[in-house]
Amino acid sequence: MGGMTTTRHFTVHHDGVTIPVSRGGRGQPLVLCPGLSSTQADLRELTELLRRDHDVVTFDLRGHGLASAADRYSFDAFLSDLFATLAEPERLDVPSPPVLVGYSLGADLAVHYAAERPDAVAGLVLIDGANPLPEPFITDADLPEFRAMAEDPATRREIEQAMGTARQVLLTAREVLDLQLEMDVVRSGILDRYRKIDCPIHMIMSTSIAGDSTEGRAPRHNRLWRAGIDRLVRERPHISTSWLDADHRLVFTHTPEIAEIIRGAHPRPTG
Q: Where are the domains of the chain?
A: 8-264
Residues 88-97 have pLDDT tens digits of 755 667 788 9
Under DSSP, the state recorded for 119 is: G
- Do residues 202 and 264 lie in contact, with contact meaning Cβ atoms separated by under 8 Å? no
Cα-Cα-Cα-Cα dihedral sign, residues 264, 45, 253, 208: negative
- Do residues 240 and 181 lie in contact, with contact meaning Cβ atoms separated by under 8 Å? no
Q: Per residue of the chain (271 residues), what is the pLDDT tens digit?
A: 445 568 999 999 999 999 999 999 999 999 999 999 999 999 999 999 999 999 999 999 999 999 999 999 999 999 999 999 998 755 667 788 999 999 999 999 999 999 999 999 999 999 999 999 999 999 998 888 888 887 888 888 888 899 999 999 999 988 999 999 999 999 999 999 999 999 999 999 999 999 999 988 899 999 999 999 999 999 999 999 999 999 999 999 999 999 999 999 877 665 4
Cα dihedral 97→101→106→110 (10° resolution): 30
CA–CA dist 80, 87 (Å, integer): 10
Residues 139-198 have pLDDT tens digits of 998 888 888 887 888 888 888 899 999 999 999 988 999 999 999 999 999 999 999 999
Torsion-angle region of residue 29: left (phi > 0), alpha (psi -120 to 50) or beta? Answer: beta
CA–CA dist 96, 24 (Å, integer): 16
- Any residues with CB less than 8 A from the CB of 50 and at least 6 apart, and which? 25, 30, 32, 56, 101, 259, 262, 263
| 169, β-bridge pairs | 64
Which CATH superfamily hosts domain 8-264?
Alpha/Beta hydrolase fold, catalytic domain (3.40.50.1820)
Give the CA angle between residues 22, 26, 28 to the nearest 5°. Answer: 100
Burial class of residue 248, CB neighbours in 10 A (0-12, 13-18, 19+)? buried
